[in-house]
Chain A
């Protein structure tokens, strides 16, 4: 009976410690004003993306023939573009596309990159050589050229672009994961586990993965921003997201021609890209701080 009580007390104690750790994490993360700003900004973008249909009454690809290139009015808050599509709704739905592509591409790249990096480092030898040489080859083709060439081959739907942007960022994950895995692999605690007779599977799950995740997560948060930037660039070049899907980059590119009459058609979507990326990067800085045990003020 006493044992049982003991056990319960221990479990409560464990829960308390976990709660405390979570609190510390949150506190460190939001200890800087810029991070709070980033988090709030990002949340706003996220809400807009999720509730897009509730925010605007127009379908982003609906063409109002009667109102082509209309100036801002009560009907069309930010006016319309050259096809009579409502700029505001396209902006709102554009947030969706940017975030979807950003998150999708980064998740894909991280999953592939982390797996390959771990495999290369853990098994070494020929496997390592093959993965790393291919990785270097991929890394040495300039990103924008690679994505352009891949667009020509694969296509430019939202999913295609996510894959393409993922391919260009995979090498960074592979490199980092490999280096970190090698570190963990040579650590004394892995030696101890091996000598205790632990299997490779056990070591990868219990030792390697938990130790390589935080730098990867930090990199992922940062990469969402740069991926969104890249996507908008491709769309700006006219090789990004297929028309008529609303993309901020495409909107800038299409609005360019009207810079004399209505500069906002092009300037505002660009500003959205910039703001979203700034928010994401600041949020990323917060995540980095929170994951650094030195900064968490552990003692």
Chain B
């Protein structure tokens, strides 16, 4: 079990290193002179040009530069943003909290609701409630987030004037009531897809488990329906849900990009968009690295969770 864990950690590190290589060379791939890209304008004087040139270590060979960059990254030094003229890490530090906060809340909302609907749907298979739930979930899965956001804005903010069209503020700054008003629409947008996803997954894995031989065994023992459903079906049926939960957590930093931009929430999404628009390379590199590391850790945690809930995995690893 420990061996397996170490193996997985090793794999994760390897992936992060690979991504860092890819990310580093992003800069070299962008067409045009790196220095001019960094300066953001074409007409700079010689002195300024060389200053940036040496700052970027462009006199050194590519591997050397990579090592220098990587050393910085390990110390969370991603360089200085070209547009904000601040250390990239400081930017990220201020932008990450709203993003994580909203994504986490949305996940906490989607999991129980989605699982609940999924179970209802599976238990009432082929009945009316199942049809309605499945259909709704399938439709919600197809709706573009920005469209849901706009529709809500139009209805709740423009027409009914219940909520502000956009903005964000922590309760400590704007008060709890205002804070809640700000986050209602973003949360609905972020949760809807999640609820749909969890519903679909729960339904299909529950239906898979219902067909298994061991459920028949459990029933043949004369166990009550409650016990069969909760003790035997739920535990097996809910295991696959870890996968999409892991997937969702892995996208926590990047996944709310559209909603943040739509509702002007000062999070990672806005930072990402702005840095892409301005070709702010150090920031882009940092964002790619951090989101990747985050998603890798999420996948790793998923695997560990699997090992804890499903004895088959750790046993298979140790016996092999």
Which residue of B is nearest A228, CB measured? B144
The docked-state distance in angstroms from the alpha carbon of A232 to that of B262 is 14
Are A259 and B253 CB-contacts (below 8 A) given A149-B284, A239-B276? no
B96 smallest CB distance to A (angstroms): 14
With a cutoff of 8 Å between Cβ atoms, the chain A residues found around residue B150 in the complex are: 252, 256, 259, 263, 266-267, 270
B46 smallest CB distance to A (angstroms): 28
With a cutoff of 8 Å between Cβ atoms, the chain A residues found around residue B29 in the complex are: 153
A215 contacts partner chain B, Cβ-Cβ < 8 Å: no
The docked-state distance in angstroms from the alpha carbon of A282 to that of B11 is 38
B273 contacts partner chain A, Cβ-Cβ < 8 Å: yes
Contact present for A274 and B142 (CB under 8 Å): yes
A137 smallest CB distance to B (angstroms): 4
B50 smallest CB distance to A (angstroms): 25
Contact present for A136 and B15 (CB under 8 Å): yes
With a cutoff of 8 Å between Cβ atoms, the chain A residues found around residue B143 in the complex are: 274, 277
A135 smallest CB distance to B (angstroms): 10
Contact present for B30 and A153 (CB under 8 Å): yes
Contact present for A133 and B139 (CB under 8 Å): no
With a cutoff of 8 Å between Cβ atoms, the chain A residues found around residue B258 in the complex are: 233, 236-237
The docked-state distance in angstroms from the alpha carbon of A257 to that of B251 is 28
With a cutoff of 8 Å between Cβ atoms, the chain A residues found around residue B30 in the complex are: 152-153
B13 smallest CB distance to A (angstroms): 12
Chain A 201-234 interface mask (CB, 8 Å, partner B; 1/0): 0000000000000000000000001000100110
Q: Which of B56-64, B80-88, B286-294 participates in binding chain A?
A: B286-294
Contact of B151 among A136, A151, A239, A267 (CB under 8 A): A267
With a cutoff of 8 Å between Cβ atoms, the chain B residues found around residue A152 in the complex are: 26, 30, 276, 279, 284
B292 smallest CB distance to A (angstroms): 5
The docked-state distance in angstroms from the alpha carbon of A153 to that of B26 is 7
The docked-state distance in angstroms from the alpha carbon of A278 to that of B196 is 14
Which residues of B, 3-53, contact A by the 8 Å Cβ criterion?
11, 14-15, 18-19, 22-23, 26, 29-30
A134 contacts partner chain B, Cβ-Cβ < 8 Å: yes
Contact of A263 among B22, B154, B272, B284 (CB under 8 A): B154
Contact of B145 among A137, A140, A153, A233 (CB under 8 A): A233
Contact of A149 among B14, B138, B288 (CB under 8 A): B288
With a cutoff of 8 Å between Cβ atoms, the chain A residues found around residue B26 in the complex are: 149, 152-153
A79 smallest CB distance to B (angstroms): 16
Contact present for B139 and A270 (CB under 8 Å): no
With a cutoff of 8 Å between Cβ atoms, the chain B residues found around residue A148 in the complex are: 257, 272-273, 276, 284
Contact of B296 among A133, A140, A144, A249 (CB under 8 A): A140
Contact present for B257 and A144 (CB under 8 Å): yes
The docked-state distance in angstroms from the alpha carbon of A253 to that of B146 is 9
- B142, B251, B253, B291 pick with most chain A CB within 10 angstroms: B142
The docked-state distance in angstroms from the alpha carbon of A252 to that of B143 is 14
Contact present for A140 and B299 (CB under 8 Å): yes
Contact present for B276 and A140 (CB under 8 Å): no
Chain A 35-57 interface mask (CB, 8 Å, partner B; 1/0): 00000000000000000000000
B309 smallest CB distance to A (angstroms): 23
The docked-state distance in angstroms from the alpha carbon of A281 to that of B135 is 12
Interface residues of B, CB < 8 Å — how many? 48
Chain A 258-299 interface mask (CB, 8 Å, partner B; 1/0): 011001001100110110011001100000000000000000
With a cutoff of 8 Å between Cβ atoms, the chain B residues found around residue A263 in the complex are: 150, 154, 158
B205 contacts partner chain A, Cβ-Cβ < 8 Å: no
Chain B 204-229 interface mask (CB, 8 Å, partner A; 1/0): 00000000000000000000000000
A285 smallest CB distance to B (angstroms): 8
Contact of B142 among A151, A236, A252, A278 (CB under 8 A): A278
Which residue of A is nearest B18, CB measured? A137
The docked-state distance in angstroms from the alpha carbon of A253 to that of B29 is 29
With a cutoff of 8 Å between Cβ atoms, the chain B residues found around residue A271 in the complex are: 147
- A151, A152, A232, A238 pick with most chain B CB within 10 angstroms: A152
Which residues of A, 149-168, contact B by the 8 Å Cβ criterion?
149, 151-153
Contact present for B251 and A236 (CB under 8 Å): no
Are A142 and B255 CB-contacts (below 8 A) given A149-B284, A233-B145, A259-B158? yes
The docked-state distance in angstroms from the alpha carbon of A137 to that of B21 is 10
With a cutoff of 8 Å between Cβ atoms, the chain A residues found around residue B295 in the complex are: 140-142
Which residues of B, 245-275, contact A by the 8 Å Cβ criterion?
250-251, 253-255, 257-258, 261-262, 272-273
Contact present for B154 and A277 (CB under 8 Å): no
B286 smallest CB distance to A (angstroms): 11
Contact present for B254 and A142 (CB under 8 Å): yes
A243 smallest CB distance to B (angstroms): 13
Contact present for A149 and B276 (CB under 8 Å): yes
B141 contacts partner chain A, Cβ-Cβ < 8 Å: yes
A145 contacts partner chain B, Cβ-Cβ < 8 Å: yes
15 pairs of residues in contact across A and B, judged by CB atoms under 8 Å? A137-B22, A141-B288, A141-B292, A144-B255, A144-B257, A145-B254, A152-B279, A232-B144, A253-B146, A259-B154, A260-B158, A267-B151, A267-B154, A273-B147, A277-B142
- The 9 lowest CB-CB distance pairs between A and B, nearest first, are A270-B147, A142-B254, A137-B18, A277-B142, A145-B254, A278-B142, A236-B146, A141-B292, A153-B29
Can you name 4 extra interface pairs (CB under 8 A) apart from A148-B272, A263-B154? Answer: A133-B15, A133-B18, A236-B146, A274-B143
